[in-house]
Structure formats: C-alpha cells, structure tokens
Amino acid sequence: MKEKIIDKYEEGVTSTYKSKDTEEWLDRYFNRQIGYLWALFFKKLHVSPNAVTIMSMVLGVAAGIMFYYTDLVHNIIGVLLLMWANFYDSADGQLARMTGKSTQWGRLLDGFAGDVWFFAIYLAIVLRLWNQPIPFTHSRWGILILIIAFFSGYVCHAKQCQLADYYRTIHMYFAFGKDGDNFDNSRDQRRKLRNIPRKGNFFFRLGLFFYGNYTHSQESMTPYFQDLMAIIVNERHGQIPPQFRLDFRKESKPMMKYANFLTFNMRAILLYICCIGNFPWVYFVCEIVVFSIVAYCLRNRHEKLCSHTAMLLKEGYYDDDAKLI
C-alpha cells in the first residue's frame, strides 16, 4: 500500500515536468517534489496559478530585503525566503499543468516573477556594499558597485537566462513536437499585440510588449537556428522528419546541463554562499566571468549544430529518413 502511494506520488510529480531531458537534478529531487506538494495544496484550496506566482514575487522581494543586511540571521532568512519563492515558482507551473489552466498571461507573469526577485536582490546588494570598502583598497564601492550590478544583471544575467531558456525550449520543440512546449517567436507576439484592444488590456499588452522584446533578443542571439527554422517553415512547411528529431535530440541533450547551469539553481547556490560569507561582490564577478564563458561556449556549440543540420536539410539528407552521420 505504501509503495503504491509513493509510486502514485512520483507519477504525479513526473507528470508535471516539462521534459525529463531539461529538468535539473536539483529540481527533480528537491524543488519539484516540494513544489508539487504546494500545488496539491493550492489545488485543494482552488487557488489560481497566477495567484501563486504573485505570492512568489512577494517572497522573492522579501528575500532581497534580507540580503541587504550583513549579519548571518538576516541572510539565512533571505536564503529560506528565496527557496520558498522558488518552490512557489515550481508550484505555479505544476498547478497550471495539473488543472489545465495554463495561459499566456500566466506564462508572462511567471517569467516576470524571476526578474522581480533578482531586481530586488541586486538592489539590496548594491545598497549593502555602497559604503563598504573595496577589498584590498581604502576606497568605498559607491557608484562602482551600481555599474557592476547593472552590467551583471542587465547585460549578463538577462542574456544568459534568455539563451538558456531558448535552448531548452528548442530542445523540447524538436524532441517532443510543438505540443511539448510553447515555442513562441517575436513576429507572433507583435501580431497579438496589434490585435488586442487597448481598452482594458493595459497590463496584458505591456506584458506582450516586453515578451516580444524578450523573444526578439533570443532570436538575435541565434542566427544559425533562425536559418534552420526558416528552412523548416518555408521549404518544408513545418514538417520535421522523425529521424531529424531523434538526431537533433541526441546532439542537443548533452548541452542541456550547460543551459541548466545558467538558470536559477546554480545562481541561487552561488548567491547564498556569497551573501552568507559577506562577499556578495563575488557573485557579480562570477556572473560576469564564469557564467558568460559558459553561455558563450553553449551558444557556439548550439549554433554549430544548427548550421550543420540546416545544411543536411537543404541537401535533402533526411528526405529518405536517413540517419545523421
């Protein structure tokens, strides 16, 4: 009986995954497990996924406030609050898939939530360090830490996460078909924005505007993938050979660990260590240097894959359902 309950629980958790290929081990064995329990709880209370997302924003901002302080107690509270926010971030998507209430507005809100968390955290770290001395000098951080935080967050963090999210979506699109995930493009988002009445839709239109910019940024960073998609859409009318899907998945799957490195979990662990150790400036350095190197290598490798597979498609390699050499 106990084994059946455990198996049913595990089956329920697995059913809320977007894809096993793209789920991180920490999510599979920790975050998704706890998030699923929250999703079941909110389902029982008839709480909407969007309400859970908003609660995660509140928790994320509260975590950021705690990271302003230099003492251990406040920082540990900040860690716990950010973990809680992340559980809710898992729960809202799981709840949406569980109840069939997944909407574009929900996806927009969910994507915005992470930005709210990190804006609060970055601002808190800037204020925390502003009057502190720069290590090994007699000068204070002052405006320098604001410039570093802006570059780290807007230029590095944002682009890295956009790229990682795009590559995971691409992987699910080719491996499992369009129904496996929402594969959006900037043209569709602009079209939706034009067709939605202005009256009474201010926030939704604003979300679509920023989401359109988000998808456009992803597209601008991946020119060879855009060439590949152009061949599929214009020359093959959206038809993707089954063997192409298998081969693309085989080559893309090993890259998912690098895409996952660029997402929340690794950043959060680094943030916890740096804030508790009272050297939060190291977080920015790692984001600018280490994460940027990983993102560059991932992008270079993925673009080569797209260039190669686009060439094979154009040459008719898959017309007879041949296998990739």
- What pLDDT digit, counting tens, does each position of 190-224 carry? 888 888 888 888 888 888 888 888 899 999 999 99
Split at pLDDT 50, 70, 90, the class of 15 is low
pLDDT in the model for residue 325: 38
pLDDT in the model for residue 180: 44
Measure Cα distances from 60 to 20, 91, 98, 114, 136 in Å. Answer: 26, 15, 24, 8, 32
Distance CA 309, CA 105 (A): 34
* Mean pLDDT for the stretch of residues 4-29: 71
Q: Which residues pair with 140 in a beta bridge?
A: 133
Q: What is the reported pTM?
A: 0.88
pLDDT in the model for residue 11: 63
Inter-helix orientation angle 281-288/290-314, to 10°? 20
The phi and psi torsions of 137 (rounded to 5 degrees) equal: -135, 175
* CA-based radius of gyration for the chain: 21
Q: Which residue has the higher pLDDT, 76 or 241?
A: 76
Distance CA 278, CA 23 (A): 31
Helix (H) or strand (E) holding 156: none
Per-chain mean pLDDT for the chain: 89
Please name which of 100, 68, 62 lies closest in space to residue 84, comparing C-alpha atoms: 62
Q: What percent of the chain has pLDDT over 70?
A: 91
Q: How far is CA 48 from its chain centroid?
A: 21
pLDDT in the model for residue 211: 86
Split at pLDDT 50, 70, 90, the class of 24 is confident
**Per-residue pLDDT reduced to its tens digit, 150-169:** 999 999 999 999 999 999 99
